[in-house]
Amino acid sequence: MSNTTRILAAVLLLLWGCTSQNTNKSLQLSSPDQKLNVDFYLTSKGAPGYLISYHNKIVIDSSALGFVLNKADVLTKGFHIVNSSITKVDTTWEQPWGEEHFIRDNHTELKIELEELNGFKRKLNIIFRAFDYGVGFRYEFPEQKNLTNFEIKDELTEFNMTANNEAWWIPAYKGNRDEFIFKKNPINELPYVLTPLTIETKDSLYVSIHEAALVDFSSMAIEAKGNNKLKCELFPWKNGVRTYVKAPMVSPWRTIQIADKPGDLITSYLILNLNEPNKIGDVSWVKPGKYVGVWWEMHLGLGSWNQGPKHAANTKNTKHYIDFAAKHKFSGVLVEGWNWGWDGNWMNGGEAFNFTKAYPDYDIEELTKYAKEKGVYIIGHHETGAAIENYENQLEEAYQFLEDNGMKGVKTGYVGDSLNNGEWHFGQYMVRHQQKVMEMAAKHHIMLTAHETIKDTGLRRTYPNFIAREDARGQEYNAWSSDGGNPPSHVTILPFTRLLSGPMDYTPGVFDLTLPTQKNQINGTLAKELALYVIIYTPNQMACDLPENYEGHPAFKFIEDVATDWETTKVLEASIGNYITTARQQRGTDNWFVGAITNEQPRQTSIKLDFLPEGKTFIATLYKDSPKTNYLTNPTAYEIESKEVNSTSVLNLVMVGSGGVAISIIEKK
């Protein structure tokens, strides 16, 4: 027996002894498979805490719970357990769209009702849910006369580790929001960091700390306190208050995903399971698909958002994109720069944006009619320049305008180091704003994709019209970033960090990888760009390059064929920051698509196709790096190979540095 196991056994024995003698001190909850355990306890001072073990190894060591309030005593000690209850749930629910069609929600729940022994005798409930692959817990402020409207000064929730584990992170409290390159460091060296925070433990486990169901609360960052201690950090309002609370209410869930393999983090649906079911009723109008758009040419410097000779969002150019989308059976056309407000310095000053007034060279009525005739819809664009009040003042009219003009989707943006009223992009103010936008979009049957907004916490289950967010460094950095663009490892880290929170609008699909109008080039190969359509999940994928770079290109067939709505997802192999191979089954069919990518190191691997149904024959088409491909000197070289395969087949894959393979596996007719 290892020292860690002995310590854990002693702790559990002590807690069990306390429980059997005094149910007012400790309680235990086990996951359905009994391999994960949560131990809740009160210290001798009545302070709540918890620890989590997995396969008899402590993953989260003894960690504090509670709050510090403004103008009131702390909600951290002096408690006793009034009541506790354990319930079990095992159901399966259907996603209207998603990376997994049917999701099993199998958990046990422990609800602990606490009350202060003395003083105001305030009440605080803590709810734990244990899944086989992780834990969620939240605070509940029940209705009570001595705790109604109050201000949270600090949340004391901890996630303490047993060792100085390595973590992949991006910083909090920085001007560029969450658009950073991920770094890997021991947790004791971390600054304030954003979640999801992904950790590899000394016991070779993988842990992701995040939150679920973030509603009317400040979002959570993580503070490293030294000695392997991690603490919740709530983003403040500009007056210093972290969160305003009106009881009764519940906090977001604090989530801890645990996996033996990194790929298992991706196929853990704990975040979604902790959100409430669909609240908006019939969502048959929410349809996954693919789109092109007036966008990449601006990042290349060929067009502009503002008025002038290079203004890209004009009637003629938009019709060009509509024609291309219709020809290749794409659903939508994104148009940026169509409305008044782009002239002058709009970043951190978007008060001039008007969301119902088009520029003179953009005939909205003509384009609405033209798109409808072609069977395509225009995706609206609302850049706010971080001027929230200006946007909210026009919100009803803006979304009525979208609906009236057949725009079934909208992309929003909040570019600015902070919101123009001085609030953080991650505070309660922005959480409330995003809720208004999400509900307004649902009212008008608009699919919402948000950039530079509050992070995803699984609310797409409750509001299925909120289909994706950006909230990370996307493709556009490859065009103009002074650091040379996203490094080869960037997209091999995103699936295990940012993408654990939800779909990302990364906008893959660049074919002209050398970017002749820019100093940069894409740090990857053409085959890798194709593979990203499978690796990076979103239900509405963009083919971001210029139409002329796609027209007549044999590799464009993969983008035409690849699905965006899935029956199931499997991660076949993965190493964070090094490589990942993902397979997804197209919803309603037996067809599969596979994407494999690597960092700057070349890679050879073999994948079994045993996920295919037995007794059927398929045509596998591989879009892959060629022997001549080099991501620095010859990134556009590629090969296409087709072969018959079945469930016993094995595919041997060869990737150059920063290369990839994209595979369509279509049932043979």
Angstrom distance (rounded) from CA 576 to CA 183: 12
Taking a C-beta distance cutoff of 8 angstroms, is the pair 243, 429 a contact? no
DSSP for 249-289, written as a single string: EEPPEEEEEEESSHHHHHT--HHHHTSPPPSS---TT---E
Respond yes or no: is residue 373 known to be catalytic. no
Among 368, 204, 321, 71, residue whose Cα is nearest residue 313? 321
Question: CB–CB of 66/166 below 8 Å?
Answer: no
Query: 320 in helix, strand or coil?
Result: helix
The tokens for 86 are: 């354990």
- Which H or E run contains 556? helix 556-561
Burial of 368 (0-12, 13-18, 19+ CB in 10 A): middle
Burial of 117 (0-12, 13-18, 19+ CB in 10 A): exposed
Identify residue 389 by its one-letter amino acid code.
E
* Secondary structure of 115-131 as H, E, C letters: EECCCCCCEEEEEEEEE
**Order of strands, sheet of 466-469, starting from the edge strand that comes earlier in the sequence:** 466-469, 447-450, 409-413, 377-383, 332-335, 289-294, 540-542
* Encoded tokens for 348: 């951190």
At 322, is the secondary structure helix, strand, or coil? helix
Task: Quote the DSSP letter at residue 511.
Answer: S
How many CB atoms neighbour CB 559 within 10 A?
25
- Closest by CA to 468, choosing from 494, 496, 501, 491, is 501
Q: What is the DSSP letter of 234?
A: E
Helix then strand count (H, E) for the chain reads 14, 35
* Cα angle 185, 190, 194; round to 5: 105
Q: How far apart are CA 465 and CA 471, in angstroms?
A: 17
636 close to 515: Cβ distance less than 8 angstroms: no
Answer yes or no: are the C-beta atoms of 379 and 332 closer than 8 Å: yes
One-letter amino acid of 621: T
- C-alpha 567: how far from chain center: 19
DSSP state of 426: T
Residue 364: its H or E element = helix 364-373
> Which residue(s) pair with 106 in the sheet?
90
Going across the sheet that includes 67-69, the strands are: 67-69, 149-155, 243-246
Q: CA angle, corner 278, sides to 276 and 279, nearest 5?
A: 95
Looking at 554-631, which runs of residues are DSSP E strands? 566-575, 579-586, 592-598, 603-608, 618-624
Q: Which amino acid is at 467?
A: I
Interatomic CA distance for residues 473 and 417, integer angstroms: 15
- Concatenate the DSSP letters of all residues of 21-56 into one string: H-TTTEEEEE-TTSSEEEEEEE-TT--EEEEEEETT
Among residues 140, 233, 297, 476, which one is catalytic?
476
HSE-CB at 437 with a 13 A cutoff on CA atoms is 31
Which residues are catalytic, by number? Answer: 476
